[in-house]
Amino acid sequence: MAPAAVERCAAKLNLFLDVVGRRADGYHELVTVFHEIDLADRLSGVVTGDGDVTLEVHGGGAAVPMDANNLAARAARLLLRDAGAARGIALRLEKTLPVGAGLGGGSADAAAALRLVDRLLDLRTPSERLHALAAELGSDVPFLLRGGTCLARGRGERLERVPVGPPPRFLVLLPGFGISTAAVYAALPRELPPPVDPAPLLRALASGDVRALAASTHNALLPAALAVEPRLAQVLDAVRDQLGPGVQLTGSGSALFLPFRGDPPDVGDLPHGTTARVV
Ligand code: C5P
């Protein structure tokens, strides 16, 4: 039987996200704190003999790219080509993470595809090379390849692990719509607001003080995301009324999160189409 393997494609939250500059390549300089969470897609693969990459997608709805543009298929093809491997791979993606949520779903699938192809074909790609391929695929892919909790700079690819005390739990709220990341970045004001210091958030993470954590989350993309998607303002107002001002946006949205410890907060009546997960 052909070798087969399975990978979890874990999502991320941006506990802190500041935009500190515009780059000549059209991207933005970020200071962000990524935190891996226990929400995931599942990617499995089987080695094939013909050098081709195929992908079957289950779940996730119409917004998930089914073809060669799917980031998992692109990642597998990139690593096979980079390694000069003559064999191919048949991928099967079970999609649970919503698209356009700021949870890094597509990037998580790509990171898992790099790990899967490397393992299945026993390529033993050096970790710096895998990191460079991940950065080619997208700004969030290097972190999702590594996991854990990291402070990131550059486009998001310059990673530094940060200490985490007693791990916080999170309520994650998923509005029933996605938001385009490119549209949110394009809606940033010409003059960026002054930088925000991530130190209070990093201290709260290290000490495990969940109140301080909720008070020090930050997302410089929030005003632009609200401008791009007016439905987000309705959801955010409603959940902040119910759960307090500590509810924050992850990435370019649409998902929101609230750190907590102990029993999960009572979400009450969520706005139409919004669902909650506890991680
Ligand atoms: O890198 P990725 O493909 O995930 O980025 C999606 C879009 O988000 C980019 O096309 C760009 O518009 C924006 N982006 C950015 N600066 C970053 C990360 C993403 O402008 N650091």
**Residue 92: closest CA among 79, 119, 73, 74:** 73
| pLDDT single digits (tens) 65-90 | 887 789 999 999 999 999 998 899 99
Integer Cα distance of 247 and 2 in angstroms:
47
pLDDT of residue 61: 82
Cβ of 185 below 6 Å from ligand 1: yes
For the cut 70, the answer to whether the pLDDT of residue 7 exceeds it is: yes
- Determine whether 12 is an active site residue: yes
| pLDDT single digits (tens) 238-265 | 999 999 999 999 999 999 999 999 999 9
- Going from the C-alpha of 59 to that of each of 44, 66, 114, 151, the distances in angstroms are 14, 11, 21, 32
What 3-state DSSP class applies to 67? coil
Cβ of 181 below 6 Å from ligand 1: yes
Query: How are strands ordered across the β-sheet holding 248-249?
Result: 248-249, 256-260, 169-174, 275-278
Pair 261, 168: CB distance under 8 Å: yes
- Residue of 22, 78, 107, 139 with the most ligand 1 atoms within 8 Å of its CB, for mutation: 139
Total length of the chain: 279
- Residue of 19, 22, 23, 28 with the most ligand 1 atoms within 8 Å of its CB, for mutation: 28
DSSP state of 37: E
Q: Percentage of the chain surpassing pLDDT 70?
A: 100
